[in-house]
Structure 1
Amino acid sequence: MQEGHDLDGLIRFSQRDEAWRERLASVLDEHLLPAMEEFDLDFEDLEELLGEQVPWTLWGCAFEDFLSRGWEPGGQNIIDVYLKRRGWSEKALNRAYIEGLRDAHVSLHEVSDVKPGASMKLRDLLTGAAPVTVREKSATRSLKQWDRIAVRIVPVRDHHVISGGLLPFSQEATDLLFEGMRDVLRLRKSQELRLTEEQLRDCAPLFSSAWLFTELPRVLEPQAPQLANTDGEDLLFHELRFPFAKGVLQSQVAAALRKVTGLEPAGAKFWNWLAPKSRSKKGQTQRKGSGLAFGTFTESGTVLGTVELKGKALILEVNSKERALRGEVLIKDATGDLLRPPLTKIQTVEQIMREREDQPDEDFDGTDEVPPEIARQVTLEYLDRHYRETLDQPLPALDGKTPRKAVRSAAGRTKVVEWLKYLENASAKNIGSPMADYDFGWMWDELGLGDKRQ
């Protein structure tokens, strides 16, 4: 509990009177009961499922809602009653916090300008109010740029702090919350979601519900993330081994491969199979929100697969069934009768991972370990090249447009801003990796969006 944030006296006071106990219980039901009934759980089950602290954070969200409400008769508020009877026992700073909490409303905020252990800036996504800088120690050590949190901003004398009931919101939870609010307010999807402070007070239980209805399915029915390549195709690793026909030499196959458009030499016996420079929208069908997209990139473009000559065979390696079919046609058309039909080995991501785990590392002596500063430099240089190429690539998140083209319209600029925030936020969460230190500022500036990053 931070200095000036002690609610113990208020909590004890709320438990002494039966009427206040019943009112608090009714508010707790509004926040927790829909999810508890849907998933057939008790409050005690939440600790086992979500961790020791989470249930009490949710309790705190409901308690803060209870503190801000007016009750009949006469719209009486428990904080007013408490301060009238017991206010003399509170220190001045804590009393100022309690008074601020009474008048505060919960909302969904976007985090920026994080100064770990000191402060952060919060932008209210639901009221459109100007960003507010809050003093905060513990939360700023874990929150990252563009995180979204449901919390109350509390004015305390000459500064602002946040309340104890803080819930981190994923994109899925955000979408569910917004959908629920549109239903409550009877808004169409095309209408901007803007709420008054009074409407947010009325909608406070929706924040807990949206969070629970997102998090509980993850722990009750965990699913592996859907993995796809840059074309949106499920990851399934294929190795096609084409044996040489009788009497065929490597030099003959190599000569045939050198004539193939899209095969770029990467060694004496190795080629990268590259995607065409101008990919159509049809080739950019990655499913929005379907999971993680994996790809390999070179300065020449996206790598669809690799081709290698080994002994008396040509090896084609790709990461999807669709690319395997297209690659087989490509190789057959290029080599004709030089190769026999391929033998195919197929592996899932899980099988690949198990193979790597089973590989002995007894021969490793550490002599080939890359110094951390060199690894960091190499990673950042790679990210620079990758993201510079990405600015000219059609992206599913931008409706098949490149970032440079998307920013030419107002709607496109909005989508590019959200895309950049997603990239920056995901990168910042790779704690301990050079990716966490990557500065995306140049991308915002190059796309003319530097003012949107404030």
Structure 2
Amino acid sequence: MATWSPTAFVRGLASLRAFANAEPELSASARADFPTTWTDEQFPWMNATLMAWTLHGREDAEGRTAADRQLLREGQRLSRAERGLLSALAASWCSVFEVEEVRLGQGLRLRDLVLDEVLEVKERSLTTQVTRYDLIASWVMPTEDHLELVGGIVSIPRPLREHVVVAARHAFATHQQPPADDVPGRRRQARRLAPFLFTRVLELLTTERPLLNFEDEPLRLCTARFRIRHPAKVEERLRRHDGFTREGKGLYNWEGPRAAVWGSLTVEGKVLVLTTYSAQRLEKGKALLEELLGAEAEHEEDTLGPEKSVRGEPARALPDDAPPQLADAFALTLAQRAREELARGIPAWGGRSASDLVRSTEGRAQVLEWLKDWESQVSHLSDAADLLWDDLYAELGLSRDERIPLTQVYTSKEAPSLEPIRAELTTTELPEDLSLEPLPRRRAFQDAAQRKPRRKPPAPELEPGALYAFKLGPIDVGVDGRTSIYVAVTSEGEALPPVFERRDAKGLEGLARDNAELKRYCESRLARAGAAHGFASRPMPDSVTRFRAALALQMHWASVEPGLMVMPEVTEALLDATAALIRAEPWEEWTNEEVFTVHLEGAVRGTRELSVMGSGGSEFGFALFDRAGSVERMSMSGLPGGNVDVLIPDSLGVTLEDAPDWVVKTVKDVTGLPFVPDVMRVQRNTPRLGNAEELVLAAAVAQALALARPEEREVDVELKVGDLQVRVRLEIPLPLLTGSYVGKLDLLSLATRRPKASHAPTRSLPTKKVSETLLEFAKPVLDDVEDSEDPQAELFTCLALALSAWNAVVQDTWEPEKGWVERARATLTRMPRDVREMMLHDFELLVERKRRHFADDPRLLDALDIVQRPDDLGVRLAGVVTPGAWSEFVGV
């Protein structure tokens, strides 16, 4: 193991830096080896690399680094740890490394692509940031029994692999080579390349590279403006032409070969604008429009934007907060595309397929490196495609663990130059930023709720005459930095006065003072600091775990509203109820517009209105409004803007957050879910934190909402905490816009296990597909779908409402439990006015249409999905004959 602690490392590095600063001429020479300037924010690793070169990279005339010189001059008066650190730094070297294996939280297996060594490196933080086959340039130092990374670390995009590695290997080869068995000598030789290596990487990442389309034309935003005589005639001709696809009202895509978007057309009033991504295509588009429109369009002017370029190598990436499902889908798509390209043949390989190339030694190396390039990019998105990669390697007779000699991989005589980047844009406009729009951040508690709760073994309670110490924090306290709170609980349940300190040893010393007669225990992370004060580590008792979470929440709330005091049993009830709410995920069933009616008895009485938050993916929880109609008033008031304030109705809001971390951890230890509940009371447009009575009310309502099921009409819950008792009766609305069946039947089971007929049916089953039937049934409400801003989303909403109306009529007609149409109508009646009137009108029309024109169809519909096809939108759903109609239609 290393002979120095992290503190000793920082202290030793500071001492070495002071030693180097005392040699200004040598420091100036080291600085002169690097570029004159760079952007600190964009390239912070250059600063760290320059410091590494100054302290333990650049050699003097005698071949010694600053670390060597300090060890030689001051070694006798240095501690063992400081001498060990200086020796390790003096033996360090830099290179380009390929990640061969990642052991999360433990270390990396790296391959030195200059020296062709395989290294086992102990490292923690980097294991969460890199994946197999990533490339990094960094410094490595040997300690007594392992290697560690030190200095600046820079990630190198794999498409720039040859540009960096070939240049570094050639630079290494130009110097006199130490013998192959002289490992320290070869490493010193590689270390001397540091200025060249990191300058080369900086140049590659800062060089402007032109963007070209697949016809080698520069990408630039170009427009042509036309004055048109009769907009309706123009749009009619555009719709008829095969090269233009209507995307919305007055908007058309101009498609070229290979599904590339060559441009777009917009028609607004009597103005037509053609937008393209190259000057050549603009001319082609103008000629096409002149031929198609003739005298209907008169050209007015052209606008040519600057040619586009990018720096470095653009990566295939998604936003950090992209949903896991999107990342999985993107990874699978890229892996499948790699498979197709290998089968089709790579142009750079003369069109030869991968299966043909792997037969030769050189071709095998090419295919393996090509696979690494792709897999490295895909693995940063998701591991969903791992099985596809496994199959692909196996099909080609390759192995991920295969290590081909670098002389067969890097055969170029000189480093390649940077080529322009070729791409076809598939959007209707050239964006300033080529990244995707940020999506709502998925919360950690959402993912945790999908996993089966872990059962922790119960920890025994404290024996009499003992105390247990734990730590809350570290907590950011603003200008004073960060501090922690140290708390001890006795076996009788008494909490000792907390101690506020920055260091564990000081905090535990304060708790041990005046408690010498008590046996002392602590959590494992305090064991080292607590040993000197008589603390022994042991698992935290369950009662202490729950008390700690309640105390953490209490302190978190008090930081917002000083003086707020809440009993631990109230906090525990709230945590249990909100954890159940997260696992139930009511926001997956109901939108914030489908209003619950809440009847309260006990400590709080009256009838209130509840709206679920979370269907939009940004804020999760619920709002309990004091008066009926509040949801409608909120929707009508809109968002605040300018100098206009929005009046927030009197309400109790419960939101589920995932910060601060020190509170989240304590809550997770109790509930298994990483979250923090916040309860906010709004009265007279003034918000404050909820008091004890309101927290119990919030817990009772959360408990009821967690038990709510769409197929049930209501749920009844009673909660008693201390002297406070609250009863909640929740009237449950029907979720009408999910595109799913709502009822008490298991449609999947019915579809696969329908009983055999016992007699001849008296009526015939419909033969038309359920998708065609639903589209025909919903036709009267689909008129404006194409002209909406998002036709796919609008089509889903309209068909989801139609599906709900259809199912409600089927259930009322054939199933024993009635009243589904009335429940749906009641749900719509409680919606805000801006959506209620239109949806209620459409619902009544659909119900009447089902009863008049589709009355003989007994199928229940489920699993609605809208799919994007090359030329239009498609509909998928399932249909199952309801059991109540089996006797007539199936003969059961």
TM-score (norm 2): 0.33
Q: Distance in 1 between matches of 2:285 and 2:387?
A: 37
Give the Å deviation of 1:167. Answer: 3.8
* 1:409 correspondence with 2:354: no
Distance 2:43 2:235 in 1: 62
SS at match of 1:451: coil
Instruction: Write the deviation string for residues 185-229 of structure 1: whole angstroms up to 9, x where unpaired.
Output: 349xxxxxx9974344124232233324654898xxx77764454
RMSD, aligned α-carbons: 5.4
* 2:31 equivalent in structure 1: 32
Measure the CA separation in 2 of the matches of 1:196 and 1:399.
Answer: 42
Give the SS at the match of 1:337: helix
Q: Report if the CA contact (8 A) 1:67-1:102 is conserved.
A: no
For residue 281 of structure 1, what is the aligned residue in structure 2?
Answer: none
Alignment partner, residue 90 of structure 1: 80
What residue identity is the alignment partner of 1:276? P
Distance in 1 (CA, whole Å) between partners of 2:376 and 2:84 is 34
Task: Give the stretch that moved more between structures: 340-349 or 6-15.
Answer: 6-15
CA distance in 2, matches of 1:252, 1:338: 15
Name the SS of the counterpart of 2:33 in structure 1. Answer: helix
How many angstroms apart in 2 are the aligned matches of 1:377 and 1:403?
Answer: 34
User: For the residues of structure 1 that align with 2:401 and 2:269, how far apart are their CA atoms?
Assistant: 54
8 Å CA contact 1:240–1:316 kept in 2: the answer is yes
Report the Cα distance in structure 2 between the residues aligned to 1:304 and 1:127, rounded to whole angstroms.
47
Aligned residue for 1:129?
Answer: 117
1:207 to 194, 208, 218: 194
Tell me, yes or no, if the aligned pair for 1:68 and 1:101 is still in contact at 8 Å. Answer: no
Whole-angstrom CA distance in 1 between matches of 2:321 and 2:40? 41
Partner amino acid for 1:59? M
Q: State which of 278, 290, 304 in structure 1 corresponds to 2:262.
A: 304
Q: Distance in 2 between matches of 1:177 and 1:345?
A: 46
Which whole-Å CA distance do the structure 1 matches of 2:42 and 2:249 have between them? 54
Deviations 1:382-424 (Å, cap 9, x if unpaired)? Answer: 5644664565469xxx645699935742556655655555556
Contact 1:239 1:315 in 2 (8 A): yes
Equivalent-residue separation in structure 2 for 1:201 and 1:178 (angstroms): 19
Post-superposition Cα deviations, 1:209-260, rounded to whole Å, max 9, x if no partner, equal 3324654898xxx7776445455543322344555566982575146403x5
Q: Check 1:382–1:6 CA distance in 2 against 1; reply closer, same or farther (3 A cut).
A: closer
Show the counterpart of 1:148. 136
Quickly say closer, same or farther: Cα 1:337–1:428, change in 2 above 3 A: same
Match of 1:165, SS state, is strand
* Rounded Cα–Cα distance in structure 1 between residues aligned with 2:230 and 2:62: 89
Deviations 1:69-95 (A, max 9, x none): 9759xxxx65885797357x314xx76
SS in structure 1 of the partner of residue 261 of structure 2 = strand
Q: What corresponds to 1:58 in structure 2?
A: 50
Name the residue aligned to 1:317: 275
Local SS of the residue matching 2:114: coil
SS in 2 for 1:63: helix
Alignment deviations for residues 98-141 of structure 1 (CA, whole Å, 9 cap, x no partner): 555554543221235445643223221112223x3322134445
Greater Rg over alpha carbons, structure? 2
Deviation by residue 1:132-191 (Cα, 9 ceiling, x = unmatched): 33221344455565131221142432x4322x223415466973674365256349xxxx
Provide the secondary structure at the position in 2 that maps to 1:156: coil
SS at match of 1:150: strand
Quote the offset at 1:9 in angstroms. Answer: 5.5
Which position in structure 2 is the counterpart of 1:337? 294
Answer yes or no: is the 8 Å Cα contact 2:254–2:265 preserved in 1: yes
Counterpart Cα distance in 1 of 2:231 and 2:92: 82
1:328 partnered with 2:320: no
Counterpart of 2:694 in structure 1 is none
Q: Provide the secondary structure at the position in 2 that maps to 1:249.
A: helix
Is 2:237 the partner of 1:253? yes
Q: Is the 8 A contact 2:99 2:135 kept in 1?
A: yes
Equivalent position of 2:154 in the other structure: 168
Q: Residues 119 and 133 of structure 1 are in contact (CA less than 8 Å); yes or no, is this contact kept in structure 2?
A: yes
SS at match of 1:122: strand
Q: 1:324 to 1:383 in 2, by over 3 A?
A: farther
Letter in 1 for 2:196: S
What amino acid does structure 2 have at the position aligned with 1:305?
G
Aligned partner letter, 2:237: V
**AA at the equivalent of 1:319:** Y
Aligned to 1:107: 95
The separation in 1 between residues aligned to 2:237 and 2:110, in whole angstroms, is: 61
Contact preservation (8 Å) 1:242, 1:313: yes
State the match for 2:219 in structure 1. 235
1:441 aligns with 2:386: yes
Query: Take 2:369 and 2:298, find their aligned partners in 1: how far apart are those partners?
Result: 47
Preserved contact between residue 228 and residue 298 of structure 2 (Cα < 8 Å)? no
Partners in 1 of 2:13 and 2:357 — Cα distance? 52
2:173 aligns with: 185
For 1:325 and 1:270, locate their aligned partners in 2 and report how far apart those are by CA, in whole Å. Answer: 20
C-alpha distance in 2, partners of 1:304/1:58? Answer: 47
Partner of 1:166: helix, strand, or coil? Answer: strand
CA distance in 2, matches of 1:183, 1:155: 27
Residues 105, 155 of structure 1: CA spacing in aligned structure 2 closer, same or farther, 3 A cutoff?
same
1:238/1:319 contact within 8 Å kept: yes
Distance 1:5 1:60, change over 3 A: farther
Q: Retained in 2: the 8 A contact 1:239–1:346? A: yes
Q: TM-score, normalised by structure 1?
A: 0.58
Give the Cα–Cα distance (whole angstroms) in 2 for the partners of residues 417 and 403 of structure 1.
17
How many residue pairs were aligned?
370
Aligned to 1:276: 257
Q: Give 2:548's aligned residue.
A: none
Cα pair 1:242 1:341 within 8 Å, conserved: yes
Letter paired with 2:278? S
- The answer to whether the 8 A contact 2:56-2:89 is kept is yes
1:296 aligned residue: none
CA distance in 2, matches of 1:5, 1:407: 54
Do the aligned partners of residues 319 and 167 (structure 1) sit closer, same or farther apart at CA in structure 2, a change above 3 Å counting?
A: same
For 1:85, the aligned partner's letter is: Q
Greater relative contact order: 1 or 2 (C-alpha under 8 angstroms, separation 6 or more)?
1
